[in-house]
Amino acid sequence: MRSFPPETSNPTDRRHSTFVTAFEEKNRMSPLSHEQFMRLFLQSEQEILRYAMAIVPNVADARDILQETALSLWKAIDQYDPDRPFVPWACRFALNEARMFLRTEGRRKRFIREDLVAMLEARRIEIAPQLDARREHLRECLDQLPADQQSLVRGYYFDDESVPAIAERLSRTVEAVYKSLQRIRYVLEACIGRKERLSASGSTS
């Protein structure tokens, strides 16, 4: 997954600088260290981003919301209970940041209505146990993939690497990379399905 970019003079990196400053100040009083928080956040970053994109479909805007969410999370990290899942707690902050983003009238017209935002949040809470189980199954299924396929998945889904860039890196055609990704998706979906059926029957894989 991508880490935060190095400090430069553009607005995004000024936000990053503020984020780092907040880290330094909060680190002295937080029950989690800077490293522990970053590990939790980076492990959950893509899921929080997908949640933001369900509300604000533009990738660049969703990434801005993700950055603001990271800053808000760190400022409130002393409220986090390490015995509870991190993602649902983080998504509540992402929801607040998305709502702030949507308060501009023009943005409300371009994106999703506030009542639908509330419906999305209610639905996320409702299906959270199933999603947690599927995430665990997905981790196990990813671990079962051959190393070259894991590298392909990591590049495309976690590092935001484009298909042409992957094709060039692997000395393969773009079409071949697309076909490989499609086969991997089928394999992972079948693997997750088997694990869900085994879980429902009370067996273990």
Domain boundary among 66, 83, 112: 112
Domain boundary among 54, 82, 112: 112
Q: For 55-85, what is each residue's pLDDT tens digit? A: 887 778 888 899 999 999 988 888 888 888 8
At 184 the pLDDT is 92
Domain boundary among 68, 84, 112: 112
162-181: average pLDDT: 90
Q: How sure is the predictor about 101, in pLDDT bands with cuts at 50, 70 and 90?
A: confident
Strand ranges inside the chain, DSSP E: none
Which two three-digit tokens encode residue 3? Answer: 């880490």
Domain of residue 148 covers 128-205
The answer on 75 and 142 residing in a single domain is no
The answer on 139 and 87 residing in a single domain is no
The answer on 133 and 93 residing in a single domain is no
pTM: 0.48
Whether the per-residue pLDDT at 11 is higher than 60: the answer is no
Lowest mean pLDDT among 21-25, 85-89, 114-118, 193-197: 21-25
30-48: average pLDDT: 79
At 146 the pLDDT is 92
The answer on 196 and 158 residing in a single domain is yes
Q: Does residue 53 sit within a domain?
A: yes
The answer on 171 and 105 residing in a single domain is no
Q: For 173-189, what is each residue's pLDDT tens digit? A: 999 999 999 999 999 98
At 124 the pLDDT is 64
Q: Does residue 119 sit within a domain?
A: no
The answer on 133 and 107 residing in a single domain is no
At 7 the pLDDT is 42
For the chain, how many structural domains are there in total?
Answer: 2
The answer on 94 and 18 residing in a single domain is yes
The answer on 74 and 3 residing in a single domain is yes
At 18 the pLDDT is 46
Q: For residue 54, give the nearest of 100, 118, 104, 105 by alpha carbon.
A: 118
What's the CATH number where 54 sits?
Answer: 1.10.1740.10
At 69 the pLDDT is 93
Give the DSSP per-residue string, 155-196: IIIIS---HHHHHHHHT--HHHHHHHHHHHHHHHHHHHHHHH
151-155: average pLDDT: 87
The answer on 93 and 145 residing in a single domain is no
Q: Angle at the Cα of 136 (from 63 to 70), degrees rounded to 5? A: 25
